[in-house]
Chain A
Amino acid sequence: MIRFDSVTKTFGNGRSRVLALEDLDLVIPAGEMCAIVGPSGAGKSTVLHLAAGLITPDRGAIRIADRELTGMTVDELTLMRRREVATVFQFFNLLPYLTAWENVALPLRLDGVGREEERERVAEALDLVDVGARAQHKPAELSGGEMQRVAIARALVIEPRVILADEPTGNLDSTAGRQVMDLLRDLNDETRVTIVIVTHDPVWASTCDRAVRIVDGEIVEDLSFREPGGTDPPDTVH
């Protein structure tokens, strides 16, 4: 579960001060796939970056799986990102000189996971995102969709509780974008990993369980796409 309690975040200071979020309350239950939508500059990404512990709020509390983020040190936050909360970015952010395999293995290596286990988990993650055949290629030799899938594999490989995706389709054409969204949807369906996606595209938002619309730092709309009454839409259960 991700929980924001009266979270306020501003950027800059003095005259150039910008209010990104104001007293934001938001609960994303465990296992939910939630979209955060809204016009650009509305504060969508800020929510994500706060949840990833990449920035800290001015006021308010953020909890992930009953752990308070605001009190954590930089190293603790880093450890959380390494083991529990994975992030996927619009521009993939793969390291250009590492192969797909090495990029995915990176968080495991950081965590001192053994070679044998690494081989197993990385292969599994790459197969899951269907780029197993391109494991030994460098990012420059991959298509945009493949790069993003490698980035997702890097997120998956740590078996996270939460995946935070910041405009994961923003740099992809519609076909590749759909593949990425399908992949995330499948992951959520199959592993119940909590996924938060920032997007400005209503089509991608609608593939989630829920869409939260943020405008000027405030939630103006909170839409659930689950069938009323039921726990899940009947046709997404297998």
Chain B
Amino acid sequence: MRSGNLKYAVLGLVASQPEGVHGYKLKADFDALSDDFWQVNYGRLYRVLDHLEQRGDLEAVEEVQSGRPNKKVYRLTERGRQSLDDWLLQPVSDDPQPLRDEISLRLLFLRDDNVEALADLIKQQRGIYLTRLARIARRRRKLEKSGVNMKVVGLIMDGAEMRVRADITWLEHIERKIVRTF
């Protein structure tokens, strides 16, 4: 994920917790929301949080904990709300996506003798996608039960799900059109 978009994702997550959220919880939510294809580590997350705090999009309050280091709780500022709205309303970038998918590459070099290999690949890939869908499903249920406002988060989950579904549909399309006719 491009770092430009990451900061808005962080802003969005903080915005869904009006009473404030600390870094550790934020990371957990992020994982729940984004699954393994949208990785972010603590270091990167804290860098983004610092950056947003400096820009004045977030305000941080030190929370004193006994026997433990103090914990920072982040809240969305008025300026932060403005930045988020600006970003939400700006047109989506229409940069073409690179052909980085292995299947797409292999399709370009398809010959009679590697159809079977492609079939195996498709099967394998579908398995990966299904597993990914299963994770999304589990995340969604977990979030539903955790009391997160599902209005926004649900739409994000829907998007993730639809993309994977599209990929699966595409795989099945390839299967029908190519694997079976060769």
Contacts and interface: CB of A to CB of B under 8 A. Distances in A.
B130 A225 contact: yes
Interface residues of A, number: 17
Interface stretch (A56-64, A119-127, A165-173, A202-210): A202-210
Given A202-B129, A202-B165, A225 B123 contact: no
Interface in B156-175: 161, 164-165, 168, 172
Interface in A215-232: 220-221, 223, 225
Q: Could you say which of B123, B134, B136, B161 has the most chain A C-beta atoms within 10 Å of its C-beta?
A: B134
B142 A206 contact: no
Most chain B beta carbons < 10 A, residue from A220, A233, A235: A235
Contacts of A203: 133, 137, 161, 165
Nearest to B161: A203
A225 B134 contact: yes
Nearest to A209: B134
A205 B141 contact: no
A73 interface: no
Contacts, number: 43
A202 B133 contact: yes
Given A206-B133, A223-B131, A233 B138 contact: yes
Interface in B96-146: 123, 126-127, 129-131, 133-134, 136-139, 141-142
Contacts of A205: 130, 133
Contact of B134 (A206, A220, A221): A206
Nearest to A221: B123
A183 to B, nearest CB: 12
A19 to B, nearest CB: 18
Contacts of A211: 130
Contacts of A221: 123, 126-127
5 contacts: A203-B133, A203-B161, A206-B137, A225-B131, A235-B138
Given A202-B165, A203-B165, 9 more contacts: A203-B133, A205-B133, A206-B136, A207-B137, A220-B123, A221-B123, A225-B130, A235-B139, A236-B142
Interface of A: 39, 182, 185, 202-203, 205-208, 211, 220-221, 223, 225, 233, 235-236
